[in-house]
Chains A and B, each alone.
Chain A
Amino acid sequence: QQQVKQSPQSLIVQKGGISIINCAYENTAFDYFPWYQQFPGKGPALLIAIRPDVSEKKEGRFTISFNKSAKQFSLHIMDSQPGDSATYFCAASSGGSARQLTFGSGTQLTVLP
């Protein structure tokens, strides 16, 4: 099963709040879990990524939490800012010379000023 399920579909957060987006997967061969940020009319850009040998990775205000046994991972955006308003995609892939990313359906985040 290649699907990656992402929730919620949309999220509204006040400035300074915490934004949390969740993803779940079935394929236990997945070994790379990136999050991409996309602004309207632009291509996605890698935000942060994690491998299953760690349970958490933090880069600035962005943190990925990973639960291997539950096959779930989540993105936490601390101190959310209006500039964070974008669509966020989780993805997953397994090994190979050309990694095929399987994407979640996306979460549209709006941070209110």
Chain B
Amino acid sequence: DGGITQSPKYLFRKEGQNVTLSCEQNLNHDAMYWYRQDPGQGLRLIYYSQIVNDFQKGDIAEGYSVSREKKESFPLTVTSAQKNPTAFYLCASSWGGNNEQFFGPGTRLTVL
């Protein structure tokens, strides 16, 4: 069964804690992306990665970090420096220069 998985579905964090969101894909896609979605807003790009061991900042990278040690995995860490981390986080992937991005089911992060 091919696709993108994100875990956990719901995540609660206390202020001041770092938390890592998981994203795995078995579509053999080269590129992977992290987006943040807030209520009533579109998706905003946090980070993206074109190949293993390489990634670039998106529009709202401050307070986030990523790694890309394996082609199929692109975890996102929300650090304590992120001032307003409560949001719905979406991971996506695509073939290299192909247009279509496939999205995972998302992780809803709530800071208590």
Contacts and interface: CB of A to CB of B under 8 A. Distances in A.
Contacts of B16: none
A73 B7 CA distance: 35
B87 interface: no
A99 B42 contact: no
5 closest pairs, A vs B, by CB?
A43-B103, A103-B42, A98-B31, A98-B50, A103-B43
Interface stretch (A61-69, A77-85, A88-96): A88-96
Interface residues of B, number: 30
Interface in A95-110: 95-101, 103-106
Contacts of B100: 34, 46, 49
Contacts of B103: 36, 43-45
Interface residues of A, number: 27
Contact of A97 (B43, B45, B50, B58): B50
Contacts of B106: 41-43
Contacts, number: 72
Interface in A15-68: 32, 34, 36, 41-46, 49
B104 interface: yes
A93 B40 CA distance: 21
Contacts of B94: 98-99
Nearest to A89: B42
A57 to B, nearest CB: 13
Nearest to B92: A43
A14 interface: no
Contacts of A104: 42
B50 to A, nearest CB: 4
Nearest to B41: A105
Contacts of A42: 105-106
B90 to A, nearest CB: 5
Given A4-B42, A100-B45, 10 more contacts: A34-B99, A34-B100, A36-B103, A41-B105, A41-B108, A97-B50, A99-B31, A99-B98, A99-B101, A101-B101
